[in-house]
């Protein structure tokens, strides 16, 4: 049996299993690729928010990355919570030396408003990480933090995309998940535009949406699909996962990563 495409997530752990490394690996399994992980931080997290976060030393992050890439190899990399400027810069350098597409989810804060990136790391995201991204996937809060552009309506998405592209990613997906009405995202490389529209599901259990979309894009890129096709497939996957997100704990439950499998939960 031949090996499936290999995808590496460089991200933090969510003890509740809805976002972070756990969401990434579940997404990768559901989309038929071999998921691997470089842990950057550990969070104590549940349906109510983040109760604590601890960063790993930069040498532990580098060592995990080298172990995976030098022996097993990767067809795509995805980044999530990177926590500090030092980790952002180390990961940007590692990606720059890897011959594989990189999906950068510039995670800033969790859905509950808990910070997952130090304010002092924003400049490193702009100048070191975004330039090595094949696809960057900021949400509207991250767009505002990184560029100062405030998106209040679908009409603002194009301006937001241009502002992010100034930092050098090849493509950007501006996620309109925090607007009202249809869930509309804009994918563009500055010349092509793809508007990705899905019905908004009135389901409060949406923990992990951003991690899931970015990991799904990385999984499809690892299968050698072009960026627009990869993002469209990823959008359909995350939409299905949101439609069947379920209650866990007393707060916001996770999306359902298994919704597309032969025996969904």
Ligand X SMILES: Nc1ncnc2c1ncn2[C@@H]1O[C@H](COP(=O)(O)OP(=O)(O)O)[C@@H](O)[C@H]1O
Ligand Y SMILES: Cc1ncc(COP(=O)(O)OP(=O)(O)O)c(N)n1
Chain positions 173 to 192 lying near ligand X, rule: CB under 6 A, are 175-178, 183, 185
Nearer to ligand X by Cβ, of 21 and 68: the residue is 21
Provide the token pair at 71: 């022996």
Q: Is 12 in the site for ligand Y (CB under 6 A)?
A: yes
CA distances from 32 to 6, 35, 179, 187, 215 (A): 10, 9, 31, 24, 12
- Say if CB 98 and CB 77 are below 8 A apart: yes
User: How many residues appear in the chain?
Assistant: 265
Query: Rounded to the nearest whole angstrom, what is the least distance from the CB of residue 51 to ligand X in the complex?
Result: 19
CB of 254 to ligand X, least distance (A): 11
**Residue 207 CA: distances (Å) to CA of 5, 64, 230, 248:** 27, 27, 22, 10
Say if residue 92 is exposed, middle or buried (CB neighbours under 10 Å; 0-12, 13-18, 19+). Answer: buried
DSSP code of residue 155: G
- State which of residues 210, 240, 245, 253 lies at the interface with ligand Y (CB under 6 A): 210
Q: Please tell me the distance from the alpha carbon of residue 165 to that of residue 193, in angstroms, as a whole number.
A: 13
Question: Cα-flanking dihedrals φ and ψ of residue 22, to 5°?
Answer: -65, -45
Interface positions, 240-259, toward ligand X (CB under 6 A): 242
Asked if 235 touches ligand Y (CB under 6 A), the answer is no
Supply 51's token pair: 């109760």
Backbone angles phi, psi at 75, to 5 degrees: -105, -10
Which of 14, 89, 156, 220 binds ligand Y (CB under 6 A)? It is 14
Reference 139, options 113, 108, 169, 166; nearest CA is 108
Q: Look up 208 and say whether it is catalytic.
A: yes
Q: Which is nearer to ligand X, 64 or 206 (CB)?
A: 206
**Site size for ligand X, by CB under 6 A?**
18
175 assigned to active site:
yes
Nearer to ligand Y by Cβ, of 95 and 213: the residue is: 213
Q: Is 124 in the site for ligand X (CB under 6 A)?
A: no
Does position 220 interact with ligand X (CB under 6 A)? The reply is no
Instruction: Please indicate whether residue 40 is annotated as part of the active site.
Output: no
* Strand ordering across the sheet containing 171-175: 49-55, 34-46, 6-14, 76-79, 102-104, 135-136, 171-175, 183-188, 193-198
| In the complex, least distance from residue 114 CB atom to ligand Y, rounded to whole angstroms | 7
Position 208 contacts ligand Y (CB under 6 A)? yes
In terms of CB distance, is 160 or 242 closer to ligand X? 242
CB of residue 99 to ligand Y, shortest distance in Å: 26
Binders of ligand Y among residues 27 to 46 (CB under 6 A) are 43, 45
Catalytic residue annotation: 175, 206, 208-211
Residues near ligand Y, by CB under 6 A? 11-14, 19-20, 43, 45, 80-81, 107, 110-111, 116, 207-211
Residues near ligand X, by CB under 6 A? 139, 175-178, 183, 185, 198, 200-201, 206, 209-210, 213, 235, 238-239, 242
């Amino acid at each position: 049996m031949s090996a499936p495409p290999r995808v590496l997530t460089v991200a933090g752990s969510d003890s509740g299993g809805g976002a972070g490394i756990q969401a990434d690996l579940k997404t990768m399994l559901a989309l038929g690729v071999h998921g691997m992980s470089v842990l950057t931080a550990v969070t104590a997290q549940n349906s109510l928010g983040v109760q604590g976060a601890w960063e790993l030393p930069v040498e532990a992050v580098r060592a995990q990355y080298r172990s995976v890439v030098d022996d097993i190899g990767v067809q795509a990399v995805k980044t999530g919570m990177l926590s500090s400027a030092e980790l952002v810069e180390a990961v940007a350098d590692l990606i720059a030396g890897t011959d594989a597409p990189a999906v950068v989810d510039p995670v800033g804060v969790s859905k509950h408003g808990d910070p997952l990136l130090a304010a002092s790391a924003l400049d490193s995201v702009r100048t070191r990480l975004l330039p090595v991204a094949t696809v960057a996937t900021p949400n509207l809060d991250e767009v505002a933090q990184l560029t100062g552009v405030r998106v209040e309506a679908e009409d603002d998405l194009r301006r937001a995309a241009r502002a992010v592209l100034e930092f050098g990613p090849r493509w950007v997906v501006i996620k309109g998940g925090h607007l009202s009405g249809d869930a509309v995202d804009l994918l563009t490389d500055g010349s092509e535009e793809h508007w990705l529209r899905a019905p908004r599901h009135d389901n409060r259990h949406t923990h992990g949406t951003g991690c899931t979309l970015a990991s799904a894009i990385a999984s499809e890129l690892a299968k050698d699909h072009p960026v627009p096709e990869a993002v469209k497939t990823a959008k359909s996957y995350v939409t299905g996962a949101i439609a069947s997100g379920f209650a866990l704990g007393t707060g916001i439950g996770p999306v359902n990563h298994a919704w597309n499998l032969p025996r969904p939960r």
